[in-house]
Each structure stands twice: as structure tokens, then as C-alpha cells.
């Protein structure tokens, strides 16, 4: 990868041997390796909690950086995950770990939203999962159409969070309310 970055620098009209660029290929290669290798040791710890029966749990503010696969430019995604806990709850930090895992690849916001929902559903062994993602795409703000204020929202609803409009509405309300929470 470092060799390819060196070639890219040359294609950009740069001298890869000038002092400021000498270590750039290695740095960029290291960054790509890091970006594409989310922590494989993360275990998705679940707990049995019989009193959490039919409880709506919403974890928001799962803020991650990903890369748009069309332009290889960053997109900042903020995920909100809701699920119906029914005797089995997932460790709260694990939502963030799953979001990081899904973000660290060349992505589209819609696919990220689906993959996040699917991974949470697998971890809690239930389809009662909802995911809302808000995204800012640098390919739309720093280049191309150049719209700094454009925001994209994607929603994936599954199980009872899809079939029960009251639950779906509660989820959407909480994803907004969460932004005014403590701290």
C-alpha cells in the first residue's frame, strides 16, 4: 500500500523524496491498516435480566467515521439503536463497538444502517431492533454539489419495532430526546 501511495504522490505531481513526504506513504498505509482492522477481540457480552421484560432500550450518539465507497471521502455517521429487551440485555458499550465495526470499511450510509441493525439483532437474538442514522458526507460538502448543511437520515425498523407504530414512534421520539440528555 505504501508503494501505491508513493505512486499516487508522483501522479499528483509531488516529489515523494522531499523531506515532508518521505514518511507519508508509510503513514498513509498504517492509517488504512488501522481503519480496516476494527478490534477483533470485542466480545458482545449479554446479560440475563429477567426484570427487563418488554423494555425499550435506546442507545444514541454512536458517532463513527466511515468512508464513502464512491469517493473514498469521510462520512460522519451518528447511529441510534433501539431494541426490545426481553430477559436478555446487551452490554451498552457493545452498541458502539458494533457501530465501529460496521463503519470501518468502504461504505454507504444505507448499508451501514442495515448492517448495524443486523449485527445487533444477531447479538440479542431478536429481530425487535430499530436503527436511525444521521450522516454528513464530505463528498457532498467539500466537493461536488458543495452543500455544507445537507444531512441524511436513514431508518431501519425490524420485528415489533416495525409492526407496532406506537413502539416505532417511541423509538423515534427517544432518538431526538436523547440529544438533550445529561452531559
Ligand X SMILES: Nc1nc2c(ncn2[C@@H]2O[C@H](COP(=O)(O)OP(=O)(O)OP(=O)(O)O)[C@@H](O)[C@H]2O)c(=O)[nH]1
Write out the residues near ligand X by the rule CB under 6 A.
68, 70, 108-110, 137, 139-140, 144-145
Nearer to Zn ion, 27 or 70 (CB): 70
132/80 Cα distance (integer angstroms): 5
As a dihedral over the C-alpha atoms of residue 137, residue 139, residue 144, residue 146, rounded to 10 degrees, the angle is: 40
Nearer to ligand X, 54 or 110 (CB): 110
Cβ 68 to ligand X shortest distance, Å: 4
Phi, psi of 47 (to 5 degrees): -125, 150
Residue 72 site contact among ligand X, Zn ion, none (CB < 5 to 8 Å, cut-off depends on kind): none
Q: Applying CB under 5 A, which part among 40-48, 89-97, 105-113, 133-141 lies near Zn ion? A: 133-141
- 151 near Zn ion, rule: CB under 5 A: no
Nearest to 170 by CA among 130, 124, 118, 115: 130
Cβ 136 to ligand X shortest distance, Å: 11
- 139 near Zn ion, rule: CB under 5 A: yes
Helix (H, G, I), strand (E, B) or coil at 179: helix
Between CA 114 and CA 146, with CA 62 as vertex, the angle to 5 degrees is 80
Cβ 27 to Zn ion shortest distance, Å: 23
> Which residue has the closest beta carbon to Zn ion?
139
Residue 144 site contact among Zn ion, ligand X, none (CB < 5 to 8 Å, cut-off depends on kind): ligand X
25/7 Cα distance (integer angstroms): 9
Residue 28 site contact among Zn ion, ligand X, none (CB < 5 to 8 Å, cut-off depends on kind): none
Check residue 151 and report its DSSP letter: -
Which cell numbers hold the place of 168? 416505532
Alpha helices (H) in the chain, listed in sequence order: 2-11, 24-35, 92-103, 109-124, 138-141, 160-163, 165-177
54/10 Cα distance (integer angstroms): 59
Q: Applying CB under 5 A, which part among 14-22, 34-42, 114-122, 132-140 lies near Zn ion? A: 132-140
Which residues between 14 and 73 bind Zn ion (CB under 5 A)? 68, 70-71
- 143 near Zn ion, rule: CB under 5 A: no
Contact residues: Zn ion, CB under 5 A: 68, 70-71, 139
Amino acid at each position: 500500500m505504501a508503494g501505491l501511495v508513493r505512486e499516487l504522490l508522483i501522479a499528483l505531481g509531488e516529489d515523494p523524496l522531499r523531506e515532508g513526504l518521505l514518511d507519508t506513504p508509510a503513514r498513509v498505509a498504517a492509517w488504512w491498516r488501522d481503519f480496516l482492522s476494527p478490534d477483533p477481540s470485542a466480545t458482545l457480552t449479554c446479560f440475563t435480566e429477567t426484570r427487563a421484560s418488554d423494555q425499550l432500550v435506546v442507545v444514541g450518539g454512536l458517532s463513527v467515521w466511515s468512508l464513502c465507497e464512491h469517493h473514498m471521502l469521510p462520512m460522519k455517521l451518528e447511529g441510534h439503536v433501539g431494541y426490545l429487551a426481553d430477559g436478555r440485555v446487551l452490554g451498552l458499550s457493545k452498541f458502539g463497538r458494533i457501530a465501529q465495526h460496521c463503519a470501518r470499511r468502504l461504505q454507504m450510509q444505507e448499508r451501514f444502517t442495515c448492517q448495524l441493525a443486523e449485527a445487533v439483532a444477531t447479538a440479542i437474538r431478536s429481530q425487535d431492533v430499530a436503527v436511525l442514522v444521521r450522516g454528513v458526507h464530505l463528498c457532498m460538502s467539500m466537493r461536488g454539489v458543495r452543500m455544507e448543511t445537507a444531512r441524511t437520515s436513514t431508518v431501519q425498523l425490524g420485528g415489533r419495532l416495525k409492526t407496532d407504530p406506537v413502539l416505532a414512534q417511541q423509538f423515534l421520539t427517544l432518538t431526538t430526546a436523547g440529544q438533550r440528555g445529561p452531559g
